[in-house]
Amino acid sequence: MRTQVGIVGAGPAGLLLSHLLARQGVSSVILETRSRDEIESTIRAGVLEQGTVDLLTEAGLADRMRREGHVHHGIELRFEGQGHRVDLSGLTGGRAITVYAQHEVIKDLVKARLDAGGRILFEAKDVRLSGLDERTPRISFLHEGRAQTIDCDFIAGCDGFHGVSRASIPAALKVEYERKYDFGWFGILVEAPPSSKELIYASHDRGFALVSTRSETIQRLYFQCDPKDDVANWPDERIWEELDLRLSTEDGWRVKRGRIFQKGIIAMRSFVVEPLQYGRLFLAGDAAHIVPPTGAKGLNLAAADVKVLARAFEEHYTRGRSDLLESYSATVLKRIWRSEHFSWWMTSMLHRFPDGDPIQRRFQLAELRNVAASEAAARLLAENYVGLPMA
């Protein structure tokens, strides 16, 4: 096969990039190691920044999100038995977030690509990249029992943290920055009405907890846990008792209960590779960076990456410009590191650290009180949470 841009990975980054390129008349083929059912059924939360919502809307991908997503104009910080609302819209000139799960975004993107005649090769195996520093790089793979290749002008590596793309960059030509956290999130899906109109971020002596919304009948709840813990150690009643403790308020607030139908543990890390390009390979999304989920930046960073990359490819093919491709890494890394820092800050402010250092807890409470009392501090949180402008 021959295409202009070969895309490895059918996650949000790869699918959105292919869609944006098609609108600009640039051809692409997407390779994905998993099946369509797998990528559309992997349950992951999703808080969409204002800029991501705007990008999806401009690209004609927002119809179902507008119908089924939940627009939130604020969030609640809960600590010391009290809730403190951060007015996101009031502090950012009307900007907001939309709660719309990542797998729903993927469903919309897959449908849009296939409806437009785009090529997505699911269940591609043994994917390998070659000729990355040559004029025509190649993707080799097995599909439907046959060895196949795609020759292309460029390759976009959008295949996640464990994918082949980042591993194809010589170790001597990249630097990987990583921080692993000694805690994770225990997440549940529950059949229940919403417990709150907006997200609740709770900091408690026992650890962090989060109340999120999926729909009018399905809710997503998290609490901090040992990442090496076993789901089997958490029967339903123990989960509810822990959530009640961490989310308790002086007025007796309680989370609304229901049937728990999914449980899972999420490990947490901060990760960035530099640079994000090697020869004719460009990394985007989780292949380039990972953020702890506290700042709600993962999918949004992927969207910001591919917006810049799509524009660079458009300028290359329509105007013969190479400068935007050459500066891609430097351009998106500025936003990536700002988002990494914000996610780390939210994580460090809200979670209980395993070493039990009493001064750490005092620092956290001082920071939380400052955000609750200072308009300037609250605005800093709000501006970063709803999303900084995309480059």
pLDDT tens by residue, the chain, 391 residues: 999 999 999 999 999 999 999 999 999 999 999 999 999 987 777 899 999 999 999 999 999 999 999 999 999 999 999 999 999 999 999 999 999 989 999 999 999 999 999 999 999 999 999 999 999 999 999 999 999 999 999 999 999 999 999 999 999 999 999 999 999 999 999 999 999 999 999 999 999 999 998 888 999 999 999 999 999 999 999 999 999 999 999 998 999 999 999 999 999 999 999 999 999 999 999 999 999 999 999 999 999 999 999 999 999 999 999 999 999 999 999 999 999 999 999 999 999 988 767 899 999 999 999 999 999 999 999 999 999 988 6
CATH architecture of the domain with range 184-266: 2-Layer Sandwich (3.30)
Determine the 3-state secondary structure of 61 from DSSP. Answer: coil
Among residues 100, 181, 201, 278, the one annotated as catalytic is 201
What are 156's strand-pairing partners? 7, 282
Compute the half-sphere exposure of residue 245: CA atoms within 13 Å on the CB side of its CA. Answer: 13
| Dist CA 269 CA 351 (whole Å) | 14
CB under 8 A, 24+ apart: contacts of 254-258:
255/195, 255/211, 255/221, 256/192, 256/193, 256/194, 256/195, 256/219, 257/190, 257/192, 258/190, 258/191, 258/192, 258/193, 258/219
Domain residue limits, the chain? 2-72+96-180+269-352, 184-266
| Terminal Cα-to-Cα distance of the chain (whole angstroms) | 33
Q: Which of 100, 222, 278, 385 is catalytic?
A: 385
Residue 11 one-letter amino acid? G
Residue 289 known to be catalytic: no
Active site residue 72: yes
**pTM score, two decimals?**
0.94
**Is 201 one of the annotated active-site residues of the chain?**
yes
Burial of 170 (0-12, 13-18, 19+ CB in 10 A): exposed
Task: Say which of 19, 70, 297, 316 is annotated catalytic.
Answer: 297
What is Dmax (Cα atoms) for the chain?
A: 66
Considering the domain 2-72+96-180+269-352, what is its CATH architecture?
Answer: 3-Layer(bba) Sandwich (3.50)
Check 19, 70, 72, 204 and give the catalytic one: 72
